[in-house]
Each structure stands twice: as C-alpha cells, then as structure tokens.
Homo-oligomer: A and B are copies of this chain.
Amino acid sequence: MSVKIITVGEDILTANEEKARANQNRLDKHGILTINIMSSPGAGKTSLLLGTISRMKDKCRIAVIEGDVASSVDAEKINEQGVAVVQINTAGGCHLDANMVESALNNLSLENTDLLFIENVGNLICPNAFLLGEHKRVMISSMPEGDDKPLKYPAMFADTDVVLLNKIDLKPHLDFNVDGFKKSVIGLNPDVIIFSISCKTGEGLEAWLSWLESAIKDRKDR
C-alpha cells in the first residue's frame, strides 16, 4: 500500500486558508460560482454531478475538478458529458487542499467557465477542515447511511450551505426518520438549506437546480 504522508498542523491550516483565498480571488475575477461537494464514499457525488450537468449544460458553461484517492473512473464519466474535467489523485490523501485545487485551476479555461464543481474525496471528516476557494459548500448525505449521521459527523453538517438528502427512492426499504434527520441537521446549522433528492429517479432535482441557478446569477451580479 502506498501511504502519502501528510503533515497537518496549525501552520498548514493557515497556509491552506491563504491559498484558498487566492483561489477564490482568481475565481471571482471570472465570476465563476465554485461549489465544493462533499460526502461519504458512495453517497452520490458523481451521480449528482451527472444529473446536474445533463440538465444545466445548455444554460451555462460548467467545469469539474474531480478528487479521488485513486482511479479516474468518475472523471471519465463526467468527460463523457462533454464538460471540462481535471482529475486530482491524492495518492492516499483523505481530502483535497487549496494547493491541489490551484494546480487544477491552472489546467482549466477559467474565462470559459460559469460554474465550477469540485468533487472532494469521499470522507465525512477531514475535507471539512480544508477550504479550497469555494463559494458554497454542498454536502450529500444518502438515506442508506442512516439518520444518525449528523450526530456522528457533526462538523461537516455544521459547516455546509446545503445538505442534499439523496437516494430517497430507497425510503420504502429503509428505517429512516426524515424529520429526525432534518431536526438534527438544523440543530447543528440553523441556516442550512436541505433538499431531498434522488439522483436515480430525478425526484427533487428541480429545487436543487433552482437554488443553483440563483446562486450562479448572484455570483455574476457581484
């Protein structure tokens, strides 16, 4: 097994924040809305991107940065949709950081982009501590993971702008208390927006897409 050795101290987090601010300034110059998408492995980050891209790509110019420990299977799926995509392989690292995103930005045509998605590494813990330069954070929590996830991974739920409760098509087959889940999330994060969706059936995606369109417009208008 190849283990990337990461030294994380306060100085590193501070340096990361500075780099993240620089990334954000660069994105702001081009009026690009940038969204950091985070979740557990297999919660539906790539499915969300595919469902969103297919419905939005005629309305705005989209680019994607794909973060993975290994492989480029997700980037290939995105690429088939005809949008620009850069793959970052972290070689064992459990989150993206602002330096990695800077390298990816160097490989994208920013003047031809309105909306940039950054798909973080599948992990409910460390990605939260590393700003990348994003304007909004969106986390996906999928129903099969259980309604207790906000209690067990509170920082991620507390620090996001949007929670997408995904795979609601499986609800009839699961013991999942939707009201209890929402109550826990709002308890950690009173300003959060929660959408219930199924990337598989498309249910609930309209509300998410409306939020996204309004966030893109808001960013362009600044």
- CA A193 – CA B221 in complex, angstroms? 57
Interchain CB contact under 8 A, B42 and A1: no
- CA A125 – CA B146 in complex, angstroms? 20
Interchain CB contact under 8 A, A124 and B122: yes
- CA A123 – CA B39 in complex, angstroms? 11
- CA A121 – CA B152 in complex, angstroms? 10
Task: Report how many copies the assembly holds.
Answer: 2
Given A41-B149, A42-B144, A94-B123, does the pair A9, B1 have CB atoms closer than 8 Å?
no
Interchain CB contact under 8 A, A152 and B69: yes
- CA A153 – CA B122 in complex, angstroms? 9
- CA A126 – CA B1 in complex, angstroms? 12
Q: Which of A107-134 contact B (CB under 8 A)?
A: 121-126, 128-129
Q: How many residues of A contact B (CB 8 A)?
A: 48
Q: Which of A1-55 contact B (CB under 8 A)?
A: 1-3, 5-10, 13, 40-43
Interchain CB contact under 8 A, B5 and A152: no
Give 1 or 0 for each of A79-93: 1 = CB within 8 Å of chain B CB: 000000000000011
- CA A2 – CA B9 in complex, angstroms? 14
Interchain CB contact under 8 A, A42 and B123: no
List chain A positions with a Cβ less than 8 A from chain B.
Answer: 1-3, 5-10, 13, 40-43, 68-71, 73-74, 92-94, 121-126, 128-129, 142, 144-146, 148-149, 151-155, 158-159, 167, 169-170, 173
* Closest 4 A/B residue pairs (Cβ): A42-B145, A144-B144, A94-B125, A1-B155
